[in-house]
Each structure stands twice: as structure tokens, then as C-alpha cells.
Structure 1
Amino acid sequence: MDPIPVDDDLLRGWPLAKPGAHSDKEERGRTLVVGGSAEIPGAVLLAGTAALRAGAGKLTVATVQRMALAMAMALPEARVVGLPETAGGGVDAAGALLLKPLAPRANALLVGPGLQDEAAAPMFVQTLLQHLPPAVPLLLDALGLCAAPHVPQREGGLLITPHAGEMAQLCGSAKEEVQADPARCALDAAQRWHAVVVLKGSTTHVAAPDGRLWRHEGGNPGLATSGSGDILAGLIAGLIARGTPLEQAAVWGVALHARAGEQLAARMGGLGFLARELAAEIPHLMDTGT
């Protein structure tokens, strides 16, 4: 199947649903972002900010306990939950129990930005899944991707956002193999794990489990900067929290992310803008239909 190009015609024909004039924050959904560490505290800050900029109504951020107060100060719009930390700087599996009352209320759960401790991450995510109702959409990014092959098929769906290196690690193949045929890799992964797959790169492929495939070409080199992927993951999570289907949220999230970069490049130059500056571009782009 030839990939569907993500362009203006596609986006105009597949618009995001807009909330009613009298809708409130509850109707726009709750996003729960889980991740962060003492060494990478800003990842959940970026992802959470992007979720709110995408229009999500409420945000909860769960991160390691010693960063929780700082996170609450940096992101006053969010509820912040502190989680126990492993010796390796990750989130301890016991922290999943603290999220047990929160996870069922989420309309989108994003796990992974800024997580550390490769040994502890799979156990934490798998423990969290035991307390996550199957109807809650699950997004895995960064170190959270380690759990993707072990997630059972979910009513709410699974969405993953690997770059080529992460996809290669997940599939047990070489990065060069993924880069040689990213469309096939994305489709194979989508069908194998019953997931919407966002395979990131200068050309990004979005694959759905039913075999649909989209290709986005665009953006600019400035998007290849620290924290950019956290913004994309949070943006997609925020769109899903609003009730957007996973594949539409993925396609729109990729397009909005790229076009935010284009706007910043036009004002500031092609290199040197910061990932945190991308999020503020999103509301205007959504209003104008990109």
C-alpha cells in the first residue's frame, strides 16, 4: 500500500473536532504523563505543556519524588504526584500503586519521557498496566517503549513513538535496516503489537494496525533538538485526551509539530530554537487548521 501523504488537503478533509462554546475542561479530557528523573526532569515538563497546548482540559504529571515540588512550581497548571525512585534513578515499580486511583480517570496516559534506569523501567510499566483499565489509551515514548512488545491488545489502543534507533532495538534489527525501509518497519510493528506506530525521522511514517499508512515530509533540521520528541509525544497525548482517535491524533500531532518548527524557523532561523518554544505555536496552528 502506498503511504498517504500528510498535506493540507488531507488535514482539511480530516479536521480535529472542536469543543462546543459551552464545553468545560472535563469535556476536553484528562492527560496523565508519567516519567522524568533527577537527571532529565524537563522531559515531562515539555510533554505536559504540549498536552495542555493541544487543548487537553486537565493534566497530571507523575515523576520521581525529589523532583515533584520543582515540577509543581514549573508547571502550576498541573497536579503533580511524587513517585519512589530506584537506585538507578528510575521510577520504582511500587510507584504504580500510587497511580492506581488516577489511571482509570485518564483519557490518555503517556509513559516514558525522561525515564531512567533501563533495568527498572519494564517492571514499572508492566506493574502500571495491571492497574490500567483497557479502555484508557496508552502512549509509550522513550524508555517506556521497552514495554511495547509485552502490552496485550487494548480496547483503548496503544500508540508508540520510536525513532529509528529505538525501533531497531524493539525489533532486534539494525538501525540501518529500519532506515532502509521505514514504511515496512512501521507497518510490521503496528500489526505485530496492535499499535499505532509513529516512526520518527526527517520523513515520519504513521502506521495503523489495519494496514493504513501515512507519510509526512517536512519540518526542518531545527526540530532535531533535545526535547523535541517529548513535545511531540505530549501533543499527541493531549489530542487523544480530547477524544481524537489515535491514528488521527498521530497524523495531526506530527503535522502540527513540524509546522510549529517551520514557524519558529521563519522567525528565528533554521537552527537554534528550543523545543520548549514549539508548544506555544500549537494553539494558533490548530485554530487556522495548519
Structure 2
Amino acid sequence: MSGAATPVTAELLRTMPLPRHREGEDKDQRGRVLVIGGSVEVPGGALLAGVAALRAGAGKLQIATCRSTAPQLAVAVPEARVLRLEETPPGGISPAEAPRLAEAADRCDAVLIGPGMMDGEAAAALTAGVLERAEPARGGFVLDAMALHRLGACREVLRNHAGRIVLTPHAGEMAALLGIGRDTVLGDPLAAARQAAAALQAIVAMKGGCTFVVTPQGRAWLYDGGNVGLATSGSGDTLAGVIAGLLARGASPVEAAIWGVYLHGEAGVRLARKRGPVGFLARELLAEIPAIMAATACG
């Protein structure tokens, strides 16, 4: 399928409402998120993603991260259960932890892999190992940042989770996924997103000044309401976390991606008004999410 992308607006989102939660429901009914990420150098990526999942409404959070940084992360995010994992010499999560993490993934509604990972080869092996062993998640998987490293070599594994995976690449990561130049991606990001979505049978959120969400069948949506302030460290981690949180609540992968891109972008708009067009922090996006989500849903 080809053709123009549909603009993402509040009016459009009200035609694809998020799951509603009634008074009296417990946290299990809002879903469990597992965030697999972080490294010795960037432990905060998993923190940002995990808190973003809770801000998007998920009921329970687990963060699986490097053994040496897990205690500090547990204190920083008291809402989370933190799993301590063996490390590689460069300070990443050991691929040997894949069987344990696949078991943990099978008990969760949505799984996010990648935020804050720095050891590319270890991250690629870990991601492949988890996907090979895990049952298709009830909500789905979100693969971000280093989890996208060498993902193109895992097509058969990805097809076991066809339609249940959301990829969130920026232009450089997309270029590596497709084996093409970054300038080629920037020249036609929608075409690149469609190519990757079809080849990997995944929902693709192609990040950029204008972000595209594309299905494996080629249907596409675009959100162009963000601002330059969102191009800041940790911003992608928050987006991936929001999408994972929405998946855990019961949104479909494509709905979670579309809503997530919108909520993330509108949070940037609000902060630009409060703080100025640049200089706000990724962590500041988090507190904006619930109010935007409620206002969008209610009209």
C-alpha cells in the first residue's frame, strides 16, 4: 500500500480511543511493562523509559539493568521492581541473561528493549536471544536504540512476532537497518519507514522533525507538531517508554505508536511554551503526559 500519510490530530485519536479503566480496577489490570536497558555509562535511559511507561498509565513496572547500577536505579525509581543482570566488560547487559529475560517477558504485557544500552554487539545478541525464546507478548515489544543494532539479520525471529513489534529508529538507525545512506533516509523518510516495516513485519515509528508511523502493509500516519526542543538527550527513551506503557494497557501496537508519538510531541509543545523552544529536559516531558492524554481523550 502506498499513498499519502494521514495527519495525526487530537480528532483522529478520538476515533481510536485508548483502553478505559474503571474505578476499582487494580494495577494488574493496567498491565505490566518490562524495560530491558541501561548500561554503566547511561543508566538513566532505562529510568526515563520506565517512568514514561508509568506516566502513560501502565500499572506495574520492572526494569532489568546492569548489576552495578541496579541498586541506584531502584532508589531512583521506587515504583519499579529492578532486576540485576550480569554485565559485559564494556558495561552492558550480558547476552547470557537472554533466557532469564525471556521468562520475565512472558509474564509481562509489554516489553521495551534498548534504552540506555551502549555495548552494541552485546545488545544485538541479547535482543535476538530474548525474541527467539519469548512467546509473543500479549501487548507487544518495543525495540529502541541499541536494540535495533543488527536487527536486519533477525528477520525470521521478528516474523515470529509479526505485527506485535514497534521499532522507533532515528535516521541513522534506519540507515543501518536498511543498509543505505543516512542522506537517503532523510531524503524520503516515509519510503524508508515503509521498506523497513514491510521487511521486518513491524510497526515503524520513524523519528524526525516529522515523525511517521507505518504498518507492514504500508499504511502511514504523520505527526509534524513537535519542535526542535525535543531533539535532546533522553527524548527517544521517553517516547519508547510511553509506547510501551500504552501497549501494556491494551492498545494495539499501531495505536500505541500513534498515540505515543502525539503525546511525546505535544509534551514538547507545552514545555516550549513554559521554558522556551530549546533547553527543556527529557525528564520534564514525563509529567506532561497524563494531562495531555486525558485532555485528548475527552476533547
TM range (shorter): over 0.9
The aligned residue for residue 212 of structure 1 is 219
The aligned residue for residue 243 of structure 1 is 250
Q: % of aligned pairs identical? A: 49
* 2:182 maps to amino acid: K
The aligned residue for residue 34 of structure 1 is 36
Distance 1:209 1:155, change over 3 A: closer
Work out whether residues 110 and 137 of structure 2, in 8 Å CA contact, stay in contact via their aligned partners in 1: no
Work out whether residues 33 and 62 of structure 1, in 8 Å CA contact, stay in contact via their aligned partners in 2: yes
The aligned residue for residue 62 of structure 1 is 64
CA RMSD, Structure 1 to Structure 2 (Å)? 1.3
The aligned residue for residue 148 of structure 1 is 151
* 1:145 maps to amino acid: L
Of the structure 1 ranges 85-94 and 39-48, higher mean CA displacement relative to structure 2 is found in 85-94
**Aligned equivalents of 2:52, 2:17: Cα separation in 1:** 19
Aligned residues: 290
1:176 counterpart = 2:183: yes
**Aligned equivalents of 1:108, 1:183: Cα separation in 2:** 26
**Aligned equivalents of 1:274, 1:229: Cα separation in 2:** 12
The aligned residue for residue 233 of structure 1 is 240
Q: Deviations over 1:227-263 (max 9, x none)?
A: 0000000000000000000001101100000100111
1:89 counterpart = 2:96: no
The aligned residue for residue 47 of structure 2 is 45
**Aligned equivalents of 1:212, 1:19: Cα separation in 2:** 29
The aligned residue for residue 12 of structure 1 is 14
1:139 counterpart = 2:139: no
Of the structure 1 ranges 118-127 and 258-267, higher mean CA displacement relative to structure 2 is found in 118-127
Deviation at 1:155, TM superposition (A): 5.5
Deviation at 1:98, TM superposition (A): 2.8
The aligned residue for residue 162 of structure 1 is 169
**Aligned equivalents of 2:136, 2:162: Cα separation in 1:** 5
Of the structure 1 ranges 147-156 and 215-224, higher mean CA displacement relative to structure 2 is found in 147-156
**Aligned equivalents of 2:273, 2:25: Cα separation in 1:** 34
**Aligned equivalents of 1:15, 1:102: Cα separation in 2:** 29
* 1:81 maps to amino acid: L
**Aligned equivalents of 2:126, 2:87: Cα separation in 1:** 11
Work out whether residues 135 and 155 of structure 1, in 8 Å CA contact, stay in contact via their aligned partners in 2: no
Work out whether residues 25 and 58 of structure 1, in 8 Å CA contact, stay in contact via their aligned partners in 2: yes
The aligned residue for residue 202 of structure 1 is 209
Question: Equivalent of 2:283, from 268, 273, 276?
Answer: 276
Question: Equivalent of 1:102, from 101, 104, 111?
Answer: 104
Deviation at 1:141, TM superposition (A): 0.3
**Aligned equivalents of 2:151, 2:247: Cα separation in 1:** 18
**Aligned equivalents of 2:28, 2:253: Cα separation in 1:** 19
The aligned residue for residue 2 of structure 1 is 4
Corresponding residue SS for 1:60: strand
Of the structure 1 ranges 83-92 and 66-75, higher mean CA displacement relative to structure 2 is found in 83-92
Distance 1:3 1:155, change over 3 A: closer
Work out whether residues 32 and 109 of structure 1, in 8 Å CA contact, stay in contact via their aligned partners in 2: yes
TM-score, length-normalised on structure 2?
0.94
Distance 1:214 1:31, change over 3 A: same
Work out whether residues 108 and 137 of structure 2, in 8 Å CA contact, stay in contact via their aligned partners in 1: no
TM-score, length-normalised on structure 1?
0.97
Distance 1:192 1:77, change over 3 A: same
Deviation at 1:147, TM superposition (A): 4.9
The aligned residue for residue 200 of structure 2 is 193
Work out whether residues 135 and 156 of structure 1, in 8 Å CA contact, stay in contact via their aligned partners in 2: no
**Aligned equivalents of 1:57, 1:75: Cα separation in 2:** 14
Work out whether residues 46 and 116 of structure 2, in 8 Å CA contact, stay in contact via their aligned partners in 1: yes
Work out whether residues 148 and 160 of structure 1, in 8 Å CA contact, stay in contact via their aligned partners in 2: no
Work out whether residues 11 and 289 of structure 1, in 8 Å CA contact, stay in contact via their aligned partners in 2: yes
Work out whether residues 204 and 217 of structure 1, in 8 Å CA contact, stay in contact via their aligned partners in 2: yes
- Which residues of structure 2 form unaligned runs of 5+? none
Distance 1:131 1:196, change over 3 A: same
Corresponding residue SS for 2:120: coil
- Which residues of structure 1 form unaligned runs of 5+? none
Corresponding residue SS for 1:152: helix
**Aligned equivalents of 1:145, 1:152: Cα separation in 2:** 12
* 2:256 maps to amino acid: A
Question: Equivalent of 2:228, from 221, 228, 231?
Answer: 221
**Aligned equivalents of 1:182, 1:155: Cα separation in 2:** 22
